Each structure stands twice: as structure tokens, then as C-alpha cells.
Amino acid sequence: MTPRPATRVRLTGISKSFLGVPVLHGVDLEVRGGEVHAVMGENGAGKSTLLKVLAGVHRPDSGTIEVDGAEVSFAGPTDAQRAGIAIIHQEFTLLPHRTVAENVYLGREPVRRMQVDRRRMVADTRELLDWLGEEGIDPTDPVSSLSVAQQQVVEIVKALSTNARVLGMDEPTAALADHEVELLYDLVRRLRDRGIAIVYISHRMREVFDLSNRITVLKDGRFVICAPTSELTSEDLVRHMVGRDLGEYYPDRAKPGDLGPVRLALRGAGNDRVRDLNLQVRAGEIVGLAGLQGSGRSAVARAVFGVEPLTRGVLEIDGVPRRVKRPRTAVRLGIALVTEDRKAAGLALRQSVRDNTLLVRRAALRGARSRARSDLPALLKLVAVVATGEHQEVRYLSGGNQQKVVLAKWLAVEPKVLVVDEPTRGIDVGAKRAVHELLRDLARRGVAVLMISSELPELIGMSDRILVMHDGTLAGELPAGASEGAVMALATGHGVGAAA
């Protein structure tokens, strides 16, 4: 294995675990100068972690990194920078109140006679902007006055100003509007033509086929394939990305006779994040809501629950149009939301199991109903929380038991519509199964369940119907037991053509 002359960076056998959870297992990646190398995979496949290893943010547990044929070891981002590697993270790393030039040279300001050499800083920034063909951005403008696309250009200039020859981009189009995406493509191609090696992370099919020279696919933290883009079809890619067996057990789905009236309906609903939503969830039904990160899945949940209220269209509960402007209204109407982030938004970690369970009931319901607590033991038994007692602080519980407390909290107000966002994230297999059975049990009792999950097997295994989101709206509906390929095809905007 002598490195080819054009190989800029070679990662070999990279493994990385966080808190004992393996995220990468022996992943390889080789990137050459003047190529756009796409890294693809489902949510959680390990793409971003791999990029952070390359950037020196995470140290790999094992494996080697070679730059221009020489093995290196990065103690931190600065080392990677020195080796000519720069990363543009998903979140922007700019200071809005400072100027473009100040941001570009942040931490590396040129100094002349004890003062920051502002003239040179501005001139060098302008030169880089010109080199990229972005004369429209003035280095002395504050970043807050730029559009998001322009801010991204500044990020890229910031990366290039370190003399980077390897540029990692993590979902660079996630924050851009459609017409800005074209500008970014153009910019990426110009960088490529100037000999920069680009690692391009994305799960948008079209982008990857438009831009990349080669594609590496990861699945569940493992290397699957690396091939020239021209030798792959989108069907191949989807297969490589999802090809796993559905060996897990899920509770029985609803039978036609189990379904009751429509409890939750959206008609032409939308707000700043999502648009043109039309959906119905019946009593007794679990409807899965699939989509990639940023597709607006969680935004639907937040809209229904009044966190980011709908501004257009109609929301109906049991056939009655309702305006849900805040969570309190949602709770009174019988809507419950199990949030994606259990610790930050689901639980008061330092309070007891009992206080957490009664939180919603005390907060949102009036009078005697809020004081009723005789059924607390029954509730906790229903969700099967394992705790030393109802006075134990929830922060001492396992993730699975915490999630059960969150569910108990909502069951305490007997919701009609239950929206669950990533209900089994970060919990073990046993608890996962318990949560699945509980959700199905609730559906059988007449609750309408809308379930969001980025774990496709779970979503497919649980759902009576699957709705797929793409770019802030519904891209399609699939029946129970649809294939992962069909879901992914819709979720990546690949259209109906690849549907199974």
C-alpha cells in the first residue's frame, strides 16, 4: 500500500467509542487532492464523528491518520489545522458582532508594532474572497449583516486562510435556501479545481451525485464501500446505506377494527419551518413520521404542541378546529409531547419521580383533577419504572427508566394525542421493548400516536402507516411494513421512482 501521489489524507481502521458506546469500528477513508469525496450514511452512521476525528476534535481509540503519506497524531484542532486540515462544522463558528476579516483571522490575527495589522487582515481576506470569486462580501462588514450563504463563504474563507488543503464540510447545505445551494455547488467545484481535497458529508442523494467524484458509505459505524460516483446508482447507494436485517420483535400492529375516529388532523398546516402539512391520526393508530435530520420531523411535533405554533392551515382535535399557540393550550386539549431531548426538555432531573410524574397535571390542569394523586402508584406500575421509590431523584435513574417517567408524566393527564419524538434514543434494548409495548398499549386504549424516529427498523416495526418528511413537508405516505429503501428514497428526495 504505497500512497498514491495524489493522496492527501488516509484514515485507516479508525475506531471510536463514547462512554463505552462504539460509534466507529475500523473505518477507512482516503481523500485525494482535487476531488470531492462524499461520505454518506443514515443518521448515526458515524459520518460526523469521522469528520471530527479528521479535524482533531476527537482522538480515535485506534487506527492511523496519514497526511501526505506521513503518519500524524492530532492532540487538538490546532494540530489538524497545522497539518492543513480545516473543517466547516454543521453549526457556524462565527461571531456575529465582529467583521468578516476579524472572524477569518480570529485567533491568528497578524500583528505589527504591537497592534493588530488590520490593513493586512482586510487585504488578505479580500484576496481570498476574490480568489473564490466572492467579491460581493466586504471584509469590513459585520458578519450579522450577511446572508446565511455569505456567512458560509466566510466560514470557508476562514478555513482556507489557514492554508488548508483538505476541507471537510458537514451537511453544508442544511441551512441554505434552494437558490443558495447552487451557489455553494459552484463554490465547491471551484475549490476542487484549485486542488483542494474536499470531504463532503451529506445525506442528500442529488447533491452527492451532482458534486462528488467518489463516495464512501458508512453504516452503523462501519465502512461499507468506497467507489467512484460514476459506478454507483442511487439504488445501490440506498441499499448500501440501509441494508440490514429486520430481526427485531415489535408488538402486533392495529387491526382495521381497532381504528377509531380521527383524533388529530392537519390541513394545509405550516409555519416558518414546515409547510403544506396534511395528515390524520386515528384513535388506536400509531403513525410513523420519518425523515432525515433537518427535514422538519421534530418541527411538526413542536408545531402540534404549540412550541413553534402553526401560522397557516388548520389543526383539528376530534374534528374541532383548534388554535394551539402554546404548550399549555395543547395540554388542555389532550395533546402530549415526549421530546427528543429527554434530559433538557423532558424532565426536571433533580426532582423526584413523583414530582416529575405529576408535573404536567399540577401545571396545566385546574382544580381537583390537578390534586388527584391516588393513582400515582398505578401510573408508575403501568409504565414499569424501576426506582427505589417515588421520592428518588430522576437523575439517578437509567435512561430507560427516565423515559418511562416522561411517559408516566403524560399518562397522568390522559392524553388523546401522543406525539413521541425519538422515544427510545439512548436507552437499552429491554427498555426499548417496554416503551414499544407501552405505546402500542396506549394506542389500543384509543390514543392517537404520532411517532418520530430516526431508527428506521423501529419506525417501520411500530407504525401502522409511515409518513415521510423531506425539506419541511410531507414527501409521501407508505403502508405498514414498507421497506427501508422506500422510506430512504422519499426522505432523500429521490422521489417515487425508487419506492419498493
Partner 1 sequence: MSTLQENLVPARSRATRPAARRRRLTPVVIVYLALVALLVVGSVLVGLRGEVLLDQAGIFNILTRATALGLVAVGQTMVILTGSLDLSVAYLIGLTSLVAAQTMAGRDGMVLPAVLLALAVAAGVGLANGLIITVLKANAFIATLGMALILRGYLENNYTGPAGDVPRGFQHLGYDRIGPVPAAALVMLAVAALAWWYLSRTRAGYHMYAVGGDIEVARLSGVPTRRVIVTAHVLCSIAAGLTGIYLASRLGSGAPYVGTDAGYDLESIAAVVLGGTLLAGGRGGVVGTIGGVLILATLDTVFDDLEVDPFFKDVVRGVVLVTAVALYARRMMTARRTRGRLA
Residues near partner 1 (CB under 8 A) are: 77-78, 81, 92-98, 102, 106-109, 111, 114-116, 141, 144-148, 150-151, 158, 175-177, 179-180, 272-273, 472
Q: In the chain, how long is the greatest CA-to-CA distance?
A: 82
φ and ψ of 256, to 5 deg = -50, -35
Interstrand relation of 320-322 and 335-338 (parallel, antiparallel or unpaired): unpaired
Smallest distance from partner 1 to CB 182, Å: 12
- DSSP label of 352: B
* Comparison of 108 and 328: residue with beta carbon closer to partner 1: 108
Helix (H, G, I), strand (E, B) or coil at 228: strand
- Looking at beta carbons only, is 73 or 144 nearer to partner 1? 144
Q: Which is nearer to partner 1, 152 or 492 (CB)?
A: 152
Grid cell of 165 as nine digits: 488543503
CB of 469 to partner 1, least distance (A): 14
What SS3 state is found at 429?
A: helix
CB of 93 to partner 1, least distance (A): 5
Nearer to partner 1, 87 or 287 (CB): 87
* Smaller CB separation from partner 1, 66 or 141: 141
Helix (H) or strand (E) holding 289: strand 286-290
CB neighbours of 351 closer than 8 A, spacing ≥ 6?
359, 393, 394
Least distance (Å) from partner 1 to the CB of residue 149?
Answer: 8
Distance CA 160, CA 164 (A): 5
Residue 267 CB, shortest distance to partner 1, in Å, is: 21
Q: Which residues of 437-469 are buried (b: 16+ CB within 10 A; e: fewer)?
A: ebbbebbeeebbbbbbbbbbbbbbbbbbbbbbb
Q: Select 4 or 112, whichever has its Cβ closest to partner 1.
A: 112
Write the CB contacts of 186 (distance below 8 Å, at least 6 apart in sequence): none
CB of 133 to partner 1, least distance (A): 18
For partner 1, the closer of residues 139 and 284 by Cβ is 139
- 281, β-bridge pairs: 264
- CB 159, min distance to partner 1, A: 11
Cα separation, 28 vs 35, in Å, equals: 17
